Structures are given as C-alpha cells and as structure tokens.
C-alpha cells in the first residue's frame, strides 16, 4: 500500500508540475485586414455562425478553449490547432496567393461534403459543431460565390495551382 501511495503522490506531483509548461494560447484580440471576412465580406451572418461554431477553433487565430484545456490535453490541443492552421487559416487568408485561396475554397467544400470536417475527434466533445445538410449547403454556396467573384476578378490562369496542371 505504501508503494501505491508513493506512486500516486509522484504522479500527482508530475501532473501539477506540467501545468506550468503550457503552450501559448491561440487567441487574438484583433481581426486582421487579411481575414477572409474582410476580404470577401460582408460574410453572411449564418455562414459566420457556422464557421465560428464548427471551424475557427482550429482554422483561425482565435481558439475558444474548452474546459479540458489542462496538461497533458493542452499539448494535444495545441498540436491540433497548429496543424489546422497550417492547412487553412481564415484569419490570415489574404496572405495566401490567389490561386491557393481559390483552391482552399474548393477544398473546404470537399472536406465538408466528405464529412471529413469537422473531425470526429472534435465532434466527440463539441456535438453542436456537427453540420446539418442545410448548413453544408450554405457554406458551399458561400464558397462558390467567392470563387465565382474570383473568376471574374482575376485572369483564369492565375487561379490554377500546380496540381491543376497534372
């Protein structure tokens, strides 16, 4: 019994100590000029609500942290947010080349259609993030509207990516 108490005390001490080694939070107080809402706005209120509820925790510079943001779970959360932002960051969308922006809108529609996003792991705890068919259609319509505007504004060749050449 002494050994179990000692192990428990050691584990508790480690748990408390690792709370002091936290990754920086992904929270920004400002909306950047390159945010997708500023570039292709005004964004419809319903689309804004859908993206905020289901996408922007991982795909923007402003994560709303859940109750389980304690170590070691915070490290996994940080990893997932950084990975999501590497794939797509709505807060810095205007920093992408125009062909990449165009392609990313297509990718958004694809991952939503294929039920790849939001990730199942995210939906386990964030049940309200699951998209209905009507919400998926609203996001698709919004993406298609932006893509149509891009086609009118930019020369056709500027919207192609190297993958399109294959």
Predicted local confidence at residue 27, as pLDDT: 72
Model confidence, pTM: 0.79
Predicted local confidence at residue 30, as pLDDT: 78
Structure-token pair, residue 121? 């792991």
d(CA 13, CA 16): 5
Predicted local confidence at residue 50, as pLDDT: 95
Contact between 94 and 128 under an 8 Å Cβ cutoff? The reply is: no
d(CA 92, CA 34): 5
Angle between helices 98-113 and 133-153 (to 10 degrees): 160
Predicted local confidence at residue 16, as pLDDT: 74
Predicted local confidence at residue 164, as pLDDT: 64
Residue numbers in the chain where pLDDT is lower than 50: none
Predicted local confidence at residue 132, as pLDDT: 94
């Amino acid at each position: 019994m002494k050994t179990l108490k000692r192990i428990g005390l050691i584990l508790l001490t480690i748990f408390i100590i690792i709370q002091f080694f936290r990754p920086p939070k992904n929270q920004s107080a400002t909306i950047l000029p390159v945010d997708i809402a500023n570039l292709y706005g005004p964004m419809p209120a319903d689309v804004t609500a859908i993206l905020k509820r289901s996408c922007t925790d991982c795909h923007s510079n402003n994560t709303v942290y859940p109750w389980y943001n304690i170590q070691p779970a915070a490290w996994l959360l940080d990893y997932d947010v950084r990975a999501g932002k590497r794939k797509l960051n709505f807060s810095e969308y205007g920093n992408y080349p125009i062909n990449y922006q165009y392609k990313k809108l297509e990718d958004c529609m694809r991952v939503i259609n294929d039920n790849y996003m939001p990730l199942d792991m995210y939906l386990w705890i964030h049940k309200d993030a699951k998209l209905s068919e009507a919400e998926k259609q609203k996001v698709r319509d919004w993406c298609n509207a932006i893509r149509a505007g891009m086609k009118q504004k930019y020369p056709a060749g500027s919207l192609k990516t190297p993958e399109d050449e294959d």
